[in-house]
Chain A
Amino acid sequence: MKLIKIATVLVAGALALTACGSNDGGSASAASTVRVNGFSILEQANKTVFDDFKKTDAGKGVTFQTSYGASGDQSRGVESGNKADLVHYSLESDVTRLVKANLVDQNWKSATPTNGVLTSSVVVFVVRKGNPKNIKTWDDLVKPGVQVITPNPGSSGSARWNILAAWAHITGNGGTEAQAKDFVTKLFGNTIALPGSGREATTAFTDGSGDVLLSYENEAILAKQSGADVDYIVPDDTLKIENPGAVTKNAPKAAKDFLAYQVSKEGQAAYAKSGFRPVVDGVDVGDVEGANDPSNPFPAPAKLFTIQDTFGGWGVAADKYFGDGTEGKPLGLITAIQQATGKGVDQ
């Protein structure tokens, strides 16, 4: 009996070893396989884009291996050895992390005519059907009694777009930093929940909590496409969300072809169907189901702030606003506000 047990263990061990070996050998056909590593919301949108790309000359015979998850987690995964040919994240800092790790070329932005941006959206307010609280502007969010939900900017990088949009509403319109602090403090005062990610925040909202959900336009359109009983408002002044992407060093030609396709008019039209705003001009978006006005799905806000012009880019903004105050980083302006509102102290 014991001998059989030992034999079983040895055989199992040998099997495990051979399994490792065959995994290593399996990458021989990588030339026509593109490993895409992206943030979670892309999953649905990419399916159509993949199919459309395979119909082009460059895309014939190309297969895709995909991996989706929270933007920061995905990027940290690739940094610590998860293989990827093309990365597509929510925040620029997630791509620059890979530049620092020597996995992405430092001139990655020049690989596309869009300065590295592959998909785009804007920060919007998702409200209950018929907008019973009559939410129209940022100032409506800080009125007493309005309950706000927004994903947690501490633990979710993508959620930081929302809070910076609120900040830009003040500083982008000529307000001072002190006024912005005051505004965001009031906003956090009205915030009833900070779910872990954009999708979780949408779930909490559609489940019945809160009056306003701070979200991305594409997420709002997707929610309406999947039948959620909500409306969304594009405020007159809001922040442009730009999702960057790049191929990694040593990526196969197919990955570069796909990157080019993503920012082509056809690729952008496919992303538009899932609610993303085109990043190049002249895209025929057609009707977008789920948009407020499907025939004119992406109305231009009167004022559109960008992370570059209003905040000096993510390289500066990440620590200045969201630093956690440890390991030599400053305590971010917004982190400090969150702490203060949590303690019930007004700044």
Chain B
Amino acid sequence: MNACERFINDYKQSRKQLPGQALPWLAAMRESAMASFSAQGLPDAKNESWKYTSLTQIEQTDYRLAQRLPKETIERLAEPIKRRFNNAPCLVFLNGYYEASLSTCGALPKGIILSSISEALQEHPQLVASELGKVANLQAHPFSALNTALLCDGVFLWAAENSSMEQPIHCLFISRAGEQPVLSSPRLLLVLKENAQLTLLEHYIDIGRLKAGIAKNTHSQANYNLLNTVTEISLSSAANLNHYKLQYEADNSAHIAAMYVQQQGASRFTSHSYSLGAALARHDIQVKLSERQSECCLNGLYLVNGSQHVDYHTQITHLAPACQSQQLYKGVIQDRAHAVFNGEVIIDPVAQQSAARQLNKNLLLGEQGEVDTKPELQIYADDVICSHGATVGQLDRQALFYLQSRGFSEQDAQAWLVYAFISELLERIDSRALRKLIEQPLIANLQQLVGGESDLQQLLPSENGDLPCP
């Protein structure tokens, strides 16, 4: 049995236990998604969008569907989660299962519904039915079809017209290794109606990193889990979503993610995506600017070493006039690590006065790393401003010399210059709390990457949230 057949088999055996089986529309959606998945199969190198990303490891691993973890394990996590992330609202998932006892919803502003998908299926089935699967593209992405068929739980967020919330919504997905590698399939369904304003963090972390703080190598049990996640985002007119993602799982695990965004008139979507840990991480981001004057800004950063592989595939489609898109992705690649960036921008014939900018910059810190970067522009309108650029470079020798000539050790000079390379993205994080939460693992990771004695943590915001000098 190949991997694809094993997944189909797992689905057949478990479909009766999946949530929402009493809802005929959901059962039908699962069936059709599974049919789509089995028709597509796992993509191979002949598939253009998977040309540089091999799925051999996934094919060769015998995954089981993730089960809910024992009660004692869950209880033991309450303290470290509280210590590390004392914020609300915070929804916690363990191997894809929502854990209410670890989560804090707090008091939500009027008009905002935030719950797990399993709860939402019971309490707001019509709302879920009207949105689930509407934005995701199952035909072009077999993993999204697989996620839909096996959908077990996730985040349901519904923000009514003019609702808003300052506090970021923290969605924490903790992965834990067991005796058998497991597949978990979380889903996020985020719906912002007219003029709603929100900030949300999708946070993927290995249990070892949670317990050991920010240390990179936890030397706990190897975690070969596969996490296959789908985020669907629907933004009505003038809605504004700041979306953050921090992916920092175990070095042996695989992370496959697809995010689909549908934007109506004058809506604004900002993505900040940080990919740090996994043997294989694939991030697909597809944005449709469907109505006039909608804007999206995609920011991304990947830091990889060892034999890690990271792949960002973005696709932005301008379907209406006067929309804007911006992309800035940066990567730091060390050892034999491999990074892939493919940025596709499509400007429909009606999308006059579109502005689309795209830039991918990579820093190679060694001889053996590999970067494949490809901009893909398809422009069918004539009155547009589009630009793209891609660079792969090394640290500036003159700058390294200059820092050392003032007393920096060689490693410190490297660490500082790498930090300088990525700081542009960190400065775009406009929430102090989130900046701290993201910078901490990032800098620890960076310090492991290049070494150095001087404490880059001094660059972190201090406890009261102030940024260090200036």
Q: Do A and B bind each other?
A: no
Please give the residue numbers on chain B whose beta carbons come within 8 Å of chain A beta carbons, in ascending order: none
